[in-house]
Amino acid sequence: MPLPKTLIIVESPAKARTIKKFVGRDYAVEASMGHVRDLPKSQLGVDIDDHFTPHYITIRGKGKLIERLRQQARQADRVLLATDPDREGEAISWHLCQLLDIPEDSPCRIVFHEITREAVRRALQEPRPIDGNLVDAQQARRVLDRLVGYKLSPLLWRKVRRGLSAGRVQSVAVRLIVDREEEIEAFTPQEYWTLDAELERQAGGEVFTARYHGDAEGKRELPSREAVDRLLADLEGRAFVVLGVERKERRRNPAPPFTTSTLQQEASRKLGFSVRRTMRIAQELYEGIELRGEGAVGLVTYIRTDSTRIADQALDEAAAYIAERFGPEFSSPRKQAGRRQAQAQDAHEAIRPTSVAREPDAIKDDLTPDQYKLYRLIWERFVASQMAPAVLDTVTVEIGAGPHRFRATGSTVKFPGFMRLYVEGRDEGAEGDGDEGDRMLPELAEGDVLRVRALRPEQHFTQPPPRYTEAMLVRALEEKGIGRPSTYAPIIETIQERGYVVKEDRRFRPTELGRVVTALLKEYFPDIVDVEFTARMEADLDRIEEGERDWEDVVRAFYGPFSETLSRAEQQIQRVALPVEETDEVCEKCGRRMVIKHGRYGRFLACPGFPECRNTKPLVEKTGARCPRCGGELVQRRSRKGRVFYGCSNYPDCDFTTWDRPTAETCPECGTFLAEKRSRQGVRLVCANPECGYQREAAGETAGAGAGAGRR
């Protein structure tokens, strides 16, 4: 049997299997299994005195794989490196060149942004040399991160506690969460009132609501009950008259196709996926899925991209599909869909389906449930981005009652456009389009005298800014230019593993450790946790990639001041004593109150009498609710994947569990505990007994609670 003439090397076996379907017998396709070389874990690995030269070593366990690739490379006529089309992929190819004795200036590199037959075959016709600028940019990032991590982390070990870490990007992420918590704690709620008038044009007619706006001179606030009472007294006996009706046509444009960060955000909002889960599933869709009748094929384009650009061929395909499926009036192709394109890394397209003809429901049976959900999200977002704007008819009615003014607003959908298929989600507290929903107003005309059915005052309080969800944190990091979307998943995972933040109800809260470390870094290493400084570093890495800056100069400019600050901090920082968190749990061995300690696997309870008493036990958070099966107390636990659930404290004798947070309240109808059910509409208390069905709105909870600092 003749040997293959060309060896193609990719990162993963899944990608290799897909590409094998597209090439002939003259090609062999092998996987490097990710990175093959890296800096050593046991030492700095960067020669600071010799131009910051990194010392790479073969990753442990890769020796046999590399030897096999060497043998295959020697037997092949040529080797093509087909790793991912980004900095990291370019660096992997560069390392393979070093290990396989391939000249970097030879045409050994091929790239494609989707794993389809046509894209792979086209790439095979256009090999190029290794891009040194991409390699330098990745090397600069790796060296900078190593210098910060391996120089700063040991300082934290000596001054705070062993096992801690600091990072050029992770420390900024923790600071954002700490700063937000401090905003919440410093927030002073401000009282304000609204006054709604329930009106009708004639007795028995359609009732609609208008809200007090102010007077003829403009908007007026209602800061107190006294102000409301004065207003109500002045409204007594006044006629409510329509002063004007304004009708407008408003166009609403679709969201652009996904970039990496917007995919992470939307999957968090709509699917409840973590960033890591989203990227894992997206990688599977990109590398290839076995479809009946087609074989292995990549379903989406490359998933690490800052660009919203769409290839002409994909635009044409989408336009034809939309015209046929929805009608020609729904098609409105957009090559660039309104993101900060000048700042985007435009080498890639946006994330889109490789063929819009592969409708999600048509291939649902070939996908896992998670793959189907994410593919459908990507498919719908892309198709909607190429659809016509929605057209809304909006109506604003100005109503006078003496000198006072009320306003009523409503809208109807005149033409659904892209909303026929998809509407972008929003974070809690985010500014939106000001949707009036589909509320209709009755036909009103200037001069109409209205009948007052009721005047309804309501007290409100301004809310502090909400804690970050994963989606909100990703959005903040992207907007501030911190890190790259491909790094967000490991950052979010690391800051939780190190105990700097915890996730409660899908929102991040800093721990005392996170506060202490952030305060220390802000005092002694302000640049490390400075948002603008970190963003400038990211911009410098982009300039290295573009060939505008030398990577060594960038590293040297950072390391000089950093090294001086490190030496000064080593002398000035005293040992930080973390506050002891005492609990009400009594040690059954010696009677002392147990304290919370931090270990390799998270927080636990320990006796403060160590080493005389070595008693420890798991830390459980009590809910105040009783198990409906055995009467034991329900406590908070975590699954192997870190998800919070609630179970009986008598486990394993009782295995009752629930995902919904139990409360100390009991159902007035059957006596079972009430659990919190959260949605965008607010929080409801629902009976945990599935046969009961009792539920009600939680006291003090309203839709959108926690939105916007001071926003009314």
pLDDT digits (tens, 9 = 90+) for 121-148: 999 999 999 999 999 999 999 999 999 9
- DSSP for 566-602 reads HHHHHHHPPPP-PPPEEEEEEPTTT-PEEEEEEETTE
Q: What are the beta bridge partners of residue 411?
A: 394
Tens of pLDDT, residue by residue over 280-308, are 999 999 999 999 988 889 999 999 988 89
Tens of pLDDT, residue by residue over 574-633, are 888 777 777 778 898 898 988 887 665 567 889 988 888 989 887 777 788 888 888 888
Average pLDDT over residues 41-61: 94
Taking the CA of residue 47 as centre, how many other CA atoms within 13 Å lie in the half-sphere pointing to its CB?
7
How high is the pLDDT of residue 433? 45
How high is the pLDDT of residue 2? 58
Q: How many CB atoms lie within 10 A of CB 592?
A: 16
Report the percent of the chain where pLDDT is more than 70. 92
- Cα 487 from Cα 144, distance rounded (Å): 14
Q: What is the pTM of this model?
A: 0.79
The SS3 assignment for 341 reads helix
- Cα 514 from Cα 180, distance rounded (Å): 13
Q: Which residues contact 368 (CB under 8 A, 6 or more apart)?
A: none
User: Is the pLDDT confidence value at 438 over 60?
Assistant: no
- Cα 386 from Cα 319, distance rounded (Å): 7
Omega within 30 of 0 (cis) for the link into 389: no
Residue tagged 């490196």 (tokens)? 81
- Cα 160 from Cα 127, distance rounded (Å): 52
User: Is the pLDDT confidence value at 22 over 60?
Assistant: yes
How high is the pLDDT of residue 342? 39
Report the percent of the chain where pLDDT is more than 90. 64
Told to judge if 302 belongs to the known catalytic residues of this protein, a careful annotator would answer: yes
Tens of pLDDT, residue by residue over 451-482, are 999 999 999 999 999 999 999 999 999 999 89
Which candidate in 56, 212, 286, 302 is catalytic?
Answer: 302
The SS3 assignment for 300 reads strand
- Cα 356 from Cα 703, distance rounded (Å): 36
Q: Which residues contact 532 (CB under 8 A, 6 or more apart)?
A: none
